[in-house]
Amino acid sequence: MGRWRLVIHGGCGAMRLTAEEEAAGLAGLNGALDAGQAVLRPGGTALDAVEAAARQLEDHPAFNAGRGSVLNAEGRIELDAAIMDGRTRAAGAVAGLRTVRSPITAARAVMERSPHVLLSFDGAEEFAREQGLETVDPGWFEIPERRAMLSKVLDAGGAFDADVKYGTIGAVAVDVHGHVAAATSTGGLTAKRWGRIGDSPLIGAGTYADDRAAAISATGSGEYFIRAAAGHELTARMRMLGEDLQTALDAVLADIAELGGKGGLIAVSPQGEAAWGFTTAGMYRGRADAEGRQVAVHGF
């Protein structure tokens, strides 16, 4: 039996947070680690663990995923998520959900109960209803701070300011059997338009898992992570170049930076290694294993 490990993130960016905001975010991270390690400690699967951790983060309003998501230019919330099993490279994803309480669970349903990988907007909503997934009124997801941020961004002509926070959540895990899995969920970008979909639900970009290398989840300027095929690129560097986990992760972030993008990545390998990095001022993140846990916004 191998070593289990769970790594999570709650978004990155300027992270100019009040003491109360930071404390709320760290509490949310600890709740997600509790949920994930409750699966992994007794020998549960990495796939179950990342879903459990992601569901906790989706329900916590400190993060831009599920409840607490940002609003698009029309003042609506549209939710994206993806999940992937490193054992078989099976994957499921959803984009543009508006009433499904847990997008990550909807993504898993796509993976396990449909012949497809990615469903979007009205079709994804219809599928979720057919599967009996929990739905809520769209207003349940909204918190006042996100409405105020939308007004600020629209008043600025749709441009972000220096306080931008890329608010995706994600979880990656390796279980005692050496299998890895990844989950990512997000509300996207404030004031996004035209049905914009970022990297989070795109397999090989913001979410990827492969037992031959690693599981990853990304947060940041999604268009750049898409162009870099960030998740697949990290695992390809390990498989083709023989790079270790941290070296491959750092190289992918450097490539994205050369393109003009910012963000962060978390990753675990089937051997139990963990790695993370970010090119912004901070990133909500945490890790847990049999030896203990850590959560942080800036250093550790």
Q: How far apart are CA 108 and CA 233, in angstroms?
A: 23
Q: What are the percentages of helix, strand and coil residues in the chain, rounded to 5?
A: 35, 25, 40
Question: Would residue 18 show up in a list of annotated catalytic residues for this protein?
Answer: no
Taking alpha carbons only, the member of 13, 7, 4, 2 closest to residue 182 is 7
Q: How far apart are CA 29 and CA 81, in angstroms?
A: 18
Q: Strand 165-166 vs strand 118-120: parallel, antiparallel, or unpaired?
A: unpaired
Q: How far apart are CA 82 and CA 183, in angstroms?
A: 6
Q: Is the separation of the CB atoms in 266 and 207 below 8 Å?
A: no
Which is catalytic among the residues 45, 105, 168, 186? Answer: 168
Q: Is the separation of the CB atoms in 92 and 83 below 8 Å?
A: yes
In order of 51, 67, 76, 103, the CA distances from 137 in angstroms are 22, 11, 12, 14
Question: Look-up: residue for tokens 């089937």?
Answer: 270
Can you state the angle between helices 245-259 and 230-241, rounded to 10 degrees? 130
Which residues participate in catalysis according to the annotation? Answer: 168
